[in-house]
Amino acid sequence: MIESIGQESIQVDFKTHIAKTFPSKVDKIALLVSSEYEGYYKNGGIGTYYRALSEQLFEDGWYVILLLCATEEHFQGKSKVPFLNQVFSVTECEEILSLQPIHRAILDDARSSYYEYQSFNILFFTQALVACCANAKVYIEFPEMCGFGYRTIQAKRVGLLPKCVTSVTLHSGHEWVYEANERFNVTYAHNFWQICHYEQNSFENADLSFHPSNFILSKVKSYGWNVSAAIRLPYFIPLINLSCIETPLIESLKNRIAENKIPIIFFARLEERKGLCTFIQAIKRLESSSANSCHFIFVGKIVQLNSHHLRHLDSDQYIRQELTNTYSYDICDGLFSEEALNLINSFNRAIVCLTSPQDNFPNSALEVGQLPVSIVAADTGGFRETLGLLNRDSCVYWFQPQSVQSLTQVLSKSIENYNELPNVPKIDLLQDTNVSLLQKRIEYIDNKFEFGRKETQTYPLVIVTIVVKDGDLNLLDCLGSLYAQVYQNFQVIVLDLAVENEETQKVLRNSQTKFPSIKVVHCSHASDLTSLQEWIDLIQQSSWLLFWNANNLSSVNMLDTLVNSAISADALVSLCPALVNSQNLLVQNMRLGYVSQLLTSGLSNVNMLLSTKLMFEHMNWPIGFEVGSLAKYLLATVITTGEKIAYFPYPLYLDISKNTNLDKEVLLKDSFQMRQYIASIEPLAWNERQIYMLLSGLQQIEFQSGFVQSFKNLAGYDIKTLFNALAWKVIRIIQSRISKYENMKLISFVRIRLIKFFSGSKI
């Protein structure tokens, strides 16, 4: 089985009939990965962004490929959009790719997670594209939403996709959407935060991280994201092409609206986060004379509402319930963006309302801002920045977000000034703006291709530490696989923790005879630092340390790949998934993320890690430390402090241990020890994101009984016990972060609440 994890086994190609659809010569390819695209879906927003982006890149000479997520359709590369050369879906990847057994094993492990499965398929598609068009440079753009680019970006960082540039554009990730929708009850918290991690990690680690507005950047920064490398680059302006033809829908709607009525149009998805409820309540507060002079038109997708008191209704039911027969109104659902804009433009004059209490960089404003209409907009950064890009300030009325009173007043004013004619931006200005935005994007992309990491092999000394315990009888095979490495600059130290086990000692003596260069350090106790001092002195010779298990068999390129992955990613640690001992290929993908995961799993499945000596020297040695657990404690330190991790997505070793599934008691012990270790990490060393996630976990425990129960079932004991030690961690973090402001009142308040909560008292 060890032969099945060689370098050639990770190669992916398109099947022959698909490979033939690509041009024989192509210089530059843009692969756009998205779950939305205007023309394939009846939506605007991100779909409009990708349509505008594909058009600009196509006109600049790029070969543009769209890879659609979250669809069951199969396209086989055929496109119905002029500026898309080819279209594929993630769903058809297994059908169009020549996958090897290792790829199928990875996908089998990933199937339990929808987003993980999508992410790996995208990686495999990208590998096939790079192999098929070997002489082309490939630019790949992902939205941050759902973290679909997570595995591809991981692979690029470790040098697996050297001719690619990856980018992520910030649109509206899960955390912000939930906040904007006021959905504070996360039913499946573990899955939710895993997606959030993929979104955050992808944005922070892509070659290029774009954000269209300062508003959305400030939001994710407040969630603890690292935005130091973020580049502000507004969306392209979608140049609208309006038809003069009146469709049956337009004709029918006009026939229902009296000529003397003023069309007031709500233009957005019909949901709370778009300001639907505020708009409805403002209508009901208008003077009767103003309300009677208007016909209200809701142009947007009907969806199920999210608010606690409205979630039993969809938006159509809610609108009809609130407006009854008192007001003149229509609801227009299921329109393509172009159809909706034609509808708005068909009125000689209209008042269009953009009422989201918070918005990123809405395409709706970019589109409506080009029309000769009055605009009533929430005074948020998103709308300000968007209309500012158009230089559109004529007949624009601003109201205080979420204020029914303010919106009512501004609506009344816009109705009074209905006959004013707005000045709309000239087409030349819009085209020049798009040219400028394209030039900036291409410049960023070209710089990454030009100054990307050069492919250089380096061979620093690596000291491999193998811990041998009672019953570890596979040492000879383990050493044999190590000494077959392509990478030759390494030394092996065997830590003997089985000094009284004769069977294991016999294996050790045979190993010394066959591999005389290994150094053996005999330790009487696994957690006695005094007896381990000889080993600690020996590892000072190298800046790289590999912590290895005696039941691991390495592939011939493992060390070479791990070392260069760490160097390529500028990471402090490097690791990969394991191929476990099974008649069938079975891969254990690692889903690294947050402290809460460390607490529930204890990282029990981590049995190897390449680390810099610097990371090893700065870790806290836990009480009762066992040297065999050093790899997982090092990894926990890296995750908690937010340091970089190099993760090679393919297995580079085989785990031949007999017990791959740990029993419940072992998992509980590992989780307890991990909790104790994490609690010992200095507060100032904690990563901002991990602090935010820890506080989020505490909030969810307090308010979401369903989440608590699911955690009880997972961990096997009361979740309050799990987080008890971390309560004081939160207090220490708060103390260290805000002590300079002498805000002891806040510290006291938090301390009292946490003590009461964990003691079971009412707060």
Q: What is the CATH number of the domain that holds 606?
A: 3.90.550.10
Tokens of 595: 């402290």
Specify the pLDDT at position 223.
Answer: 93
* CATH at residue 315: 3.40.50.2000
How many Å apart are CA 342 and CA 338, to the nearest integer? 6
Strand partners, 467: 495, 549
Enter the pTM of the model: 0.87
Burial of 471 (0-12, 13-18, 19+ CB in 10 A): middle
Place of tokens 């659609």: 68
242 is a domain residue: no
Are residues 728 and 631 both part of a single domain?
Answer: no
Q: Is 484 found in the same domain as 390?
A: no
Interatomic CA distance for residues 24 and 497, integer angstroms: 59
Q: What's the number of domains the chain is made of?
A: 4
CA 402 to chain centre: 29
Q: Are 658 and 472 in contact (CB under 8 A)?
A: no
Residue type, 721: T
Whether residues 203 and 295 fall in one domain: no
Are 133 and 253 found together in one domain? no
Domain membership flag for residue 440 = no
Q: Whole-angstrom Cα distance, residue 81 to residue 83?
A: 6
Show which of 662, 682, 702 is a domain's final residue. Answer: 682
pLDDT for 715? 44
Q: Determine which helix (DSSP H) or strand (DSSP E) holds 519, and give its type and residue range.
A: strand 519-522
DSSP state of 41: B
**How many angstroms separate the CA atoms of 327 and 284, rounded?**
9
pLDDT at 726: 53
Q: Where are the alpha helices (DSSP H) in 88-188?
A: 93-96, 101-110, 114-132, 150-157, 174-180
2 in a structural domain: no
Which CATH number characterizes residue 106's domain? 3.40.50
What is the residue type of 227? V
Domain boundary among 633, 667, 682: 682
In a domain, 435, yes or no: no
Who contacts 111 (Cβ-Cβ below 8 Å, separation ≥6)?
A: 117
Q: What is the pLDDT of residue 702?
A: 62
Q: Is the domain of 635 the same as that of 706? A: no
Beta bridge partners of 67: 33, 88
The position carrying tokens 């009284």 is 500
6 domain residue, yes or no: no
Residues 134 and 257 in one domain: no
Q: Based on the domain organization, do 508 and 580 belong to the same domain?
A: yes
- Tell me, yes or no, whether 457 lies in a domain: no
Cα–Cα distance, 452 to 455 (Å, whole number): 9
Mean pLDDT by 10 residues, the chain (763 residues): 70 96 95 90 80 95 96 94 96 96 94 94 98 96 96 96 95 88 75 91 97 93 95 93 76 85 95 94 95 95 88 94 94 87 89 93 92 95 92 96 97 95 94 96 93 67 92 92 93 89 91 95 72 83 92 94 95 93 80 80 81 82 72 91 95 81 75 84 89 79 52 44 50 52 47 46 41
For residue 131, what pLDDT is reported?
A: 95
Q: Residue 187: give the domain boundaries.
A: 12-232
Q: Specify whether 661 is located in the same domain as 729.
A: no
210 found inside a domain:
yes
Q: Look at residues 424, 453, 483 and tell me which one is the last residue of a structural domain.
A: 424
Regarding whether 693 and 647 lie in a shared domain, the answer is no
Statement to judge: residues 492 and 412 lie in one domain: no
213 and 280 inside one domain:
no
Structure tokens at 633: 């404690």
Cβ atoms of 527 and 628 within 8 Å: the answer is no
Predicted pLDDT of residue 719 = 44
Has residue 243 been placed in a domain? no
Residues 499 and 356 in one domain: no
List strand residue ranges (DSSP E) for 133-278, in order: 137-143, 164-169, 208-211, 230-232, 262-267
